[in-house]
Structure 1
Amino acid sequence: MDSIARAAAHIASEAVGAPVGEPVVVGHSKQSVVVRCSLDGGSGSVIVKAFSDEPEGRMSFTAGAVGLSLGLAGLALLGVNAAESVVVVMEDIGSVPSLARHHRQSGVGRSCQRTRELHL
């Protein structure tokens, strides 16, 4: 995971056009690793999401990149790298609970899964 975080930091640096600080892993799943990289000078940070190269990871990457590029996620898309690795770089809105965690805790994910099962 450290090598993924370092690669993500390198891509973040390219996306923002400046060096970034040491990446800190803030979340991970079987499909992705999410890291926060501080910007030089303490002027904030960016979030980098590196996806697995497996089909599920590539589908998640595509959905995430499209959603961010269309402004559907509410976050600014700062960069995408699908050539070397499957990564999106986005603005950081701070340390708040993730939408995925909120959905798991509230049961939204189970409701969505049940809906899919009913329609199949």
Structure 2
Amino acid sequence: MRPGINHVEWWVKDWAISGPFYTELFALLSWKALAERAFSSGQSEIYFREMPHLERQDGLGPRHFCFQAVSRETVDRVHDWLVKNKVTVLRGPLEQSHYSPGYYTVDFLDPDGYILEAAYTPHMKL
């Protein structure tokens, strides 16, 4: 066992919209489906709960979530998928070497308007 984040419970407004989005995104990022609403990177799990009666609110907490990509090509594939599916891309794909050498990223919005990032970070020490 290593220290880390065991899981994240992620609330979405409508699983019929968010489900296909996350299922396809995680497949591009090489995450595995554990169940209909649960996915694993092999080190962490994200599972989803549909909360139709709640509204998104801005507040303190995470600004965005960054998913590790295994290559620049993965980031490019995510970007192509985002464009094909008319997902709002906030920036990228582009290199952000001021974070670390070779840092290559695309930032975008999920169906509920939260900021996500897919980044290839070959020289970042975690």
Does TM, scored on the shorter chain, surpass 0.5? no
Query: Structure 1 or 2: larger helix share?
Result: 1
